[in-house]
Structure 1
C-alpha cells in the first residue's frame, strides 16, 4: 500500500506552515488562540459535513494540518475535545437543533468543552457510572462526581454520561447530556495535582446541575451507544499528530545519549533503535487504518502500542542521563520549587499513559472478548 501526499497536499502544507508561522504568538491566551484558529477556518477540517462554520478538506490534508501543527510552536489546543470528540458525535447522533446550536461555536473557537465520563470507582468501567440525572419538567437535575476531567477549569460545557434510569443496571439506563459549566453552587471544579506538579486534570462535582431536555444526545437511555461511538473518534488523525510529538521527544533522547556517551552502551543503543523502528511501524499502522477499520480491536491495539512505547521512552530519557536525571533544574525558585526539566516530566507523566483513555487491562479485555472470542471476564472477579 502506497502512503504519500500529492502535489496539492504539499501546496496545502506550505499554506499551513506559512499561516502558523505568521499567526503564532507566545503572548496570546489559549482561548484567544482558539478564536484565531476559528476565524481562519482551521477548526473542524475533519467533520463529515459542511455548513456549520467550518471548511472541509480531504483526509490527506487533515493529516498535513495535524502534523504541521505538531511541528510548529503553536500553543496547546484547548478546543480539541469539542472539535474532535463532541462534534463528530453530534454529527452522528445529534438532531438538527443540537448541531445548529453547538457546532458553529466550536468551529469559531468560542465555546470550549470537557468530557464527563470517569468517576471514582468507575474509571475505565464506564458502565458502572453512578452520577444521576433526574427529569424535572423541561430539564434534568444532575448529581454526582466526575474525575480526571481534562480542561474542566477552562470549559464552557461538559458532555456528561449519567444514569437517567435508577432501576437499570450496567450500560442500560444511561444518557448523554450536554451540561453548561457556568452554574455557581451547582458545578464545582477542583484541580488534581499530579506527579509532575501540574494540574492538567480536575474533579468535577455536580450538585443539582441543570441540563435541558433537548440537550440529551441520541435520546434518553441511549447514552451507552453514544458514549461508545464517541470513544471511537479518539483515534485517527490526532494519533499521527501525537506521533510527531513522540518523534521530537525521541530525537531529544537520542541527542542526550550522544552527549552523555550513553549511546556507546550496545544494549541501550539497541533500545533506542527499537524505539525508532516501533515508532515508524505505528505511523504506518495509523495511516493504514485512517479510513476506518471494521476490526473492533484496532483502536485497543493502537492504544496498547503507543502507551507502552511512550512509557519506555520516558524510562530511556532518564536512563541516558544517569545520575544527573535525579537533579532538578538550576532555575527553580521559591515560588515554584517543584520544577522539572523536559526529560523528568516525560518520565513522570508517561507513567499514566497505560491508565488514562482506557487502561491496558481494559484494552486487553476488549481484544480478548471482541476479537479473539474468549469468554467474558466474570463480573466481580478480583
Structure 2
C-alpha cells in the first residue's frame, strides 16, 4: 500500500520547524512530563520496591503519588512516545517521497536515522540512565520500517501479534521481578565505573526484549494513525479521536487499578494474581498512551481557531526539542540523585522525586521556549539531523 499523499515539499531533510504540525509537538512536550515522572523514582535506592520500582513502605504522601503515577503515568508515557515515533517516521517518509526520492532511498534514510538513534541510546545508557528508551525506538525503526509501505491490514495484524508478544514478555518479567532478590538499581551504586558497567548490561538485555516488546505495538498503531493524518488534521477526525480518547483512558485506568493497589500495599495477593496484574497494567497502558495522544490532538484541533497562547507555544517548543529535553532530564537526575553526585537518591521519597521531576520538566520547557523560536533546533536534534542527512 502506498503512503497517503503528503503536502507538497521541495527540499530534502527534516521538516522545517515553522512547517511542523502543532499536535505532535504538543503531545511530545506534554509526554516529557510523564517521562520525567516515570523515571525520577528509578534513581532512588535503599528501599524495597514493587513491580514499578516505587517504595513499598513509603509515607502516606509517597504512596499516594506512587498510586497516581502507576494508574496514569507508568507504562502510559512510553507507548505514547512510541506511537508518536511511528507517526513521525511516516511524516518523514512522506516528505522524502514528495521530493521525488524512491522508496529504497527513503528506507535507507529511515534506517540510518534509526541506527543513529540506537547509538544515541547506547551513549545515554553509558553515561546517564539504565532505563534508556531511545535504543528501543531505534531498534524497532530498523526492524519494522518496512511496515510503512505495508497494507493497513498487515500493519494492524502485526500490532495485534505485538500485543500478544507484549503480554508474554511482560508476564515473564513479572515472574523475574517476584523471584529475583530485591537489590538496588545501577543508580544506587557509589562507584561510577561499576554503575556504568551495570547500566550497559541492563541496557543490552532490556532494549531488545522488555522495551522493544513494549513499544512495537504502539509504534505500528502510530503508523496507522499517520496514514490518516489524525494529528495533522484533528478537526477532520474528531469522532475517531474522541472514541480513542474515551476507550483508551477507560482501559488504562481499569487495567491499572489492580497493580496500583498491589504496589501501594492496599492489597497483597499471591504471586499468581500479582504477576498477571503487572502484565495487565502494561498492555492496557498502550491504550492509555494512544488515548493521551488523541486527547492532545483534540485540544490542538480546537486551538486552530486562534493563535496558540504562550503556554501552548512553550509546550510545543519542548516537543520540538524532545530529544534534547529527554537527555537533559537524565543529566539533571544523575546530578541530583546519584550517590557520586548530589546523593539525594537515598534521602528522599517518591513524592519528592516527582516534585524534582516536575521542576526539571518545567525548566526544559522554559529553555526550549526561549531558544526554539526562530527555527533553532535542539543540540541533540541538530546532531541527529546532521548524522541522518549529512551536510545538505
| TM-score, scaled relative to structure 1 | 0.27
More helix as a share of residues: 2
Select the structure of larger CA radius of gyration: 1
More strand as a share of residues: 1
| TM-score, scaled relative to structure 2 | 0.26
